[in-house]
Structures are given as structure tokens and as C-alpha cells.
Amino acid sequence: MLVSNGDAIVHTAPDGRYTLAIDPQQDRYVFITVPAGYRPRERFYALLDDSPTQAGCDFPLLAAPERARTTFRLAHLSDTHVVIDGSGPVSQEMLARDLHDLVQTAAPDLAIITGDLTNMGTIEELEGYRTAMESAGIPVVSVFGGHDGNIERRSSNADTVCTRNFEATLGPTYYSFDWGGYHFVVYATEDHYFSAAGRARKERWLQADLARQPSGRASVLMLHTAPDADLLARFSRLGGALVLHGHWHSSRVFTAGDTLVASAPSFCFGGIDTRPRGCRLISFSPQGVETALHAQSRSAKSARKPNPATDAPNPQPPSRIAIGAETHSLAWTRALGSPLHRAAPVAFRDNVLVSLHSERHPGRDGVLCVDSHSGEERWQYATAAAVKHSCAVVTSSRDAAGAGGAALCAALTVSGELHLIHVATGERAWSAALPSHPHRWVCSAPAHNGEVIVAGSKAGYGAYALADGAQRWYAAPSDGDEWPLYIHPQVYRDELCIVLVQRRGILALGMADGGIVWERDLPVEYYCASPVLAGDLVVVSSASPHTGASLTGGRAGDLAVLAARTGNVVNHFANALPGYATGVAVQDGRIYTATAAGSAHCHDLSTGAELWQFQCGDDLLDMTPYRRKIRSLLAAPVPRGEHVLVPSCDGHLYVLESDTGACADRANFGAPLSASPCLTPDGFALGTYAGSLYSYQANR
């Protein structure tokens, strides 16, 4: 067996004895790597006292045959943020109930919670978290995250250890254990919570631990923050098979060489990327690793209940939906094998293009093209990572990669790879990797002017030639992609690319060179809706408590109308909405908005006067960032003639009269509708979070 003081690692002799030098100034604990098939009778670690000598530390083990099985299931949770004073959304009692529901519905063999277990890292919060964890009924592994050391960091200098509360309550911040045929490594990557000496020690330990693993044993690295390129490369060279992390309250899956990297959404409230609160389930077997997201149903009880995010799609979708005098009948249904989350389907001629983002491994990611009349698959284009937003269709009179002006589809993956696909055949024209691929978090859609395609997120937008994918320019308005957002660029008159940048503002980049043509301060957060063009105007909403900006003063429910060419403010409608807008549409002099408060609104574009509002029902899943058990909308309304279609997280599609907001019809799909429908020549297509695509066609 392996025994360590957090720096050096030694092997035990055949009789179980070991000799390990202890430095009272540096060593705070001794721990073992628990072998597969065993569990510690008490703890796998021993805290060291302040005496200059230590007689020894024994670690009795008990047989645990279930830990030797090579087929087992792990639940990867993250970012529980437990508080004890009511200052946040999660208490220890709520976490205990959520863990109980997870164990009952998903039956994992063990759980790993990758950091930010508490909100501030006080002893009281950590003890409350530990109480909830111990009630789960299965082994729970806890990883240190920055929030778990925040209270110590507030009163410390730059080179002070800020992990003592965590260690006193939960044990070492890094160690390893074996389970089945895998070696699991718990590791803390947030170096600023450690002293310089502590950083060096844990780095030496990690290298030594991985190097001591026998050939053929795959390792799993569990972190709070995502691994940087250097750590990932070193881990891969030492047999790393899987990295699990949290921190961004979002889901992302990608591979780097032979190593799979996967994050989990927040377990106790809606994710930053609006994935439902839940976890990632990981199945280990001699054949390899498979992963899938698991959403915590709001109806979860001790008995197994249907989960609309993971169970079979609703078997009986509405057969008819009335839009005014027209009745639309269900023409066809198609199972996608992937939730339709925030990426609205795109209709082009007689095609419907669907972005695939299963967030699984092996997964079904890329673009699916189906016949808009029959729903039959025409082609599927596979990508190495999820395509989280809608694709963009572009046609050009010039020869585009030999296409002779044919239609092409641009799709952008979460890891930062842009693909150009022939719509007619599904064949690749070209692909291009954005800078820092595959370590990007890109949830936006591409935009184009017929000559170049603009793709990226706030860490950087690149312009890529339609003909061959060559990068024309690259603009980086922010330092990183952190806090994944669905805000996508808008191209104005083929001259300007208008982008909204979190905690900076709204910018217009020149399509020729990417230079900033104009910029306006605007309080924007990652959950804000994309700006929308309306002729020569830009309609934009504000939503940020963190920036006091000159344009709207920082209120979350404001709407602003700007001149697209200059950025000058044409109108500013203060407090127009009850919170921030999640989707905006403009048509016939009206602004239609969806809000995180679960309400749809209509305002006059010229005066800002509210013409009507409509309230939706309770969410089926907790998808809104940091919230649970609320009403919310995530998709933009879709105007259609004298009506507007409003998809809701309560599972309904509402057909509202555009003049009055009166509900003309409603249809229940039994699963959240978090993406807008697309209009087809003879009706519309709509997808659900349960993974079904429906087409409704007008009876004529």
C-alpha cells in the first residue's frame, strides 16, 4: 500500500509496516491510498499533533467486496454551496434531501462532489455539509473548492494556508484511492489557497502518486476548476483516462488525446449554462467509461418517478395546435438522442437543421438535417464536442470551397471548433480551431456576412473566410470564456459585428478587420439575452448587479434601443421588465421579451409602453441559474402573423394574440421547452428538453 505525508510517498512492507519522515512544520496529516476491495474502519487519514515526534499512525481496513467490482456507477456532483444562515439557496437539509433522492433514483455506488461544497468555508458550513453528506447512505468523496476557503482567505496574506477549516472537518485536500480497476485522485488546483511550500508539496505528491501506478491501470483526476493545458498534458502522459471538475456550474465534455474531460452542472440549483440542476452519472466497466447527465426532477420522491430529462419522450404530444383560424396538425415526430436545450432548430428551404449536444460520452454531437415535410434523416454530421447553439446557414454567389455558391451550414462546438458543412450532402467543407481550442466554453451561434463567418465568445471572436476557413482577424474583448453564455453576435449590413460582452458592454466590431467601431457601457451578465437587430436599430436588455453602467444605470429590467451604425442611444426604457430578459424578438414595431421571472411581455418599440404581459406556469426542471422551484422562460418568443409563440419551461407552448397577449391556445409537451420553435414554409418545428423534435403543419 501507499502511505504519504502529502509530499513523499512510501510503500508498506509485507507486514504492513512503513517508515515515513515527518516534518512538524510542514506535515499536517498522514494518509493512505485505500486499495480496491477495502474500506477504512475509521478514516483513511490521521491528523498530526504539534508534538515534535509522532509514534505512528495505523490504518485498519475492512473488506469491502463491492469496491472491487470492475463494473460500478459513480455520481459526479458539484458546487453545492451550502449555507447555514439563509443567505443562499441551499441548506444542509436541502442537500440531504437531494442526495437521498439521487440515491433512490439513480442508485450510484459512490458520489464525488467536486468543490465549492459550502459558500464561505466556515466551520459551521463545513460541518453542516458533512452532516448532509454522511446521511447519503453511500460513500461521498469531497473535493476542496475556493469557496471552501473563502473565510480564511479574507483574513490572510498572500502566502498563507487557507484550507485548515476544510482539513479539520473533511480531511486532506488531496489524496488517492482505488476502486474497481481504476485509480482515483482527489486534487486541489486553486493554488492561491496554499502557501508556496504547500503548492510545491502537492505538485510533487501528484507526480509521484501517478508515476507509481502499475501499467494498465487507468487514473481518474477529480478537481474543482478545469485543468489547464499543462496539467492535462502531464496527466495524460501518466495514464490519465478521465478528468472530472466543476466550478463553472455548467456541463462540457471534450477529449484531449486519450483523456476525457467532463464537468457537471450544479447539483442544488439551476446551472450557469441553464442546464437543470443535477449531476453526471459515470458508468465504469472493463470496456471503458460512459457518462450521461442526470437531471434532478422537481417531483423526485423516495420512489422512482419519471424524469422528463432522461426518460422516454412524451408518447402523446398534442395532435393539433390552433394559431388563429389555422389549425396545425402534428405531421411527424423524431427522437434526437440529445436534449434540445437552447439551440433552436433552423429551417432552410425544405430542411430542418438541429444542433446536437447530448453531453454524454460516447455522445451524439454535431448537426442533424431532416426533411421538413417527412422528418426523415437526410444526414448527420458528427463533431467531437457538443454544438450548444443554433447553426447558421449561409449562401454566397462566390465559389465557397468548391460549392459554387451552394448553401452551407456553420456550426460551432463548445470546445471552440468551427465547422462548415454542405447543406445538400452533409459533407464537410472545412473546419477551423479557434485559439485555445479545446479549452474554450463557447455556447454562442456563428454569424456571417456572406464572405466571412464570425465565431467565438467573449474571450475572443474570429472571422473565418467562407471560401477556405482561413482566419482573417481575431478580437479578444475579455480575458476568458468563464461563465458560459448564449449571447451570439449580430451582423449589421455586412459591415459591423455587434457583440455583447459580460461586465463590459455592447461593442460593434468592423467586419473588415475586427477593430472596435463603437462601444457603449452596458451592465450585462452571462444570463442576458442576445441583442436583436430591427432594421437600423439594436434592441438590447441589461442585467447585471455587478457593474454600474452609464447606459442604463445597472437595473436588471431595462431595455435600450441603439442606432446600429453609431451605438447612439435612441430610447431607454427603465424598469420595463420584472428582472432580466432571457430572449428578445422584434417585429412590426413591437418588442417581445421572455424573462427569467416566467413572464412574456410586449412593448412598443417607439415609446416603451407595455402593451401586455403573460405569466407562465411552474418549471418542470430547475434550469434558471442559482434558482430552484420557480417559474421561468429561457427561449425567445417567436412572432407569427397576428400571434406570438411562447415556449415555456413548464412544458407548454403558448399561442398568444400579438395585440392583447390573450392566450389563444396552449399545448402541453410534458418536458421543458427551452429553445424557440422555428417557422417552416407550412408550419413550425419545435424541440423539447426530453429530446424530441415535432413538426406541425397547417391544414390547408
pLDDT score for 308: 44
Closest CA to 334 of 349, 356, 366, 308: 356
Mapping DSSP onto H, E and C, the string for 665-693 reads EEEECCCCCCCCCEEECCEEEEECCCCEE
Cell 451552394 belongs to residue: 406
Q: Which has the closest alpha carbon to 686: 671, 98, 700, 507? A: 671
**Whole-angstrom distance, CA of residue 101 vs CA of residue 94:** 11
Question: Is 102 in contact with 129 (CB distance < 8 Å)?
Answer: no
CA 467/CA 446 separation, integer angstroms: 16
- Percentages helix, strand, coil for the chain (3-state, rounded to 5) are 10, 40, 50
Q: What is the pLDDT of residues 17-57, one digit of tens each?
A: 999 998 888 888 999 999 999 999 999 999 887 554 557 89
Predicted pLDDT at 521 = 87
Per-residue pLDDT tens digits for 361-394? 999 999 999 999 999 999 999 999 999 999 999 9
pLDDT for 316 equals: 82
Low-confidence ranges of the chain (pLDDT < 50): 52, 300-313, 399-404, 546-550, 552
Query: Is the peptide bond preceding residue 677 cis, with omega within 30 degrees of 0?
Result: no
Q: What is the pLDDT of residue 50?
A: 53
Whether the CB-CB separation of 335 and 377 falls below 8 Å is answered with: no
Q: Residue count of the chain, please give it.
A: 700
What is the spatial distance between Cα 126 and Cα 148, in angstroms, rounded to a whole number? 8
According to the model, what pLDDT value does residue 551 have?
Answer: 52
Q: For strand 259-263 and strand 240-245, is the pairing parallel, antiparallel, or unpaired? A: parallel
